[in-house]
Amino acid sequence: MSVNGAMREVIGESASAVEKDPEALETGYLQLLHLVERLHRQLLDVIKDELERIGQTDINSVQALLLYNIGDAELTPGELRSRGHYLGSNVSYNLKQLVEKNYIRDERSNTDRRSKRVSLTETGLEVRDSISALFERQLSSVEQVGGVNNELIESTNKTLQRLERFWADQVRFRL
């Protein structure tokens, strides 16, 4: 399926509608841009709600998602940024906050003393596990309640991966 075809499927338009009306591609693309932004904010709201529900009020949803994405790994702040999860300055700020609150340990690299590596403490692992349990609960009902099945997820993931590659190429090759 083409990017256009996958986008049409994601936003619910028929293939013939876009082919007959080039403005439909523009409308659908702009809608997709807004949805991506809103979905990220909504995910942070869902995580914030879960943190409040379990009484974890000393960190925010961005920090909890950061803990979830670090998981069992030992990474540098640069590796976190390069994975595309976080904006540059926010990583440093949030990591500093998480170190101070004992969710993350940071250690200087043995090979390059200028470089730090971060990993989760026991407290950080507990938050990671809570967020993981949240996603597992959602997974058990996303199809029945949300009407989102595996085929739709695969199609949407393919579309978003193609957009990610397209946008990366826009920056990389200054298109």
The yes-or-no verdict on residue 113 having pLDDT over 90 is no
The yes-or-no verdict on residue 13 having pLDDT over 60 is no
CA 175 to CA 162: how far, in whole Å? 16
pLDDT, residue 88, reads 56
Q: Record the pTM.
A: 0.81
pLDDT, residue 3, reads 44
Cβ atoms of 109 and 118 closer than 8 Å: no
CB count, 10 Å around CB of 44?
15
Averaged over 156-166, what is the pLDDT?
A: 95
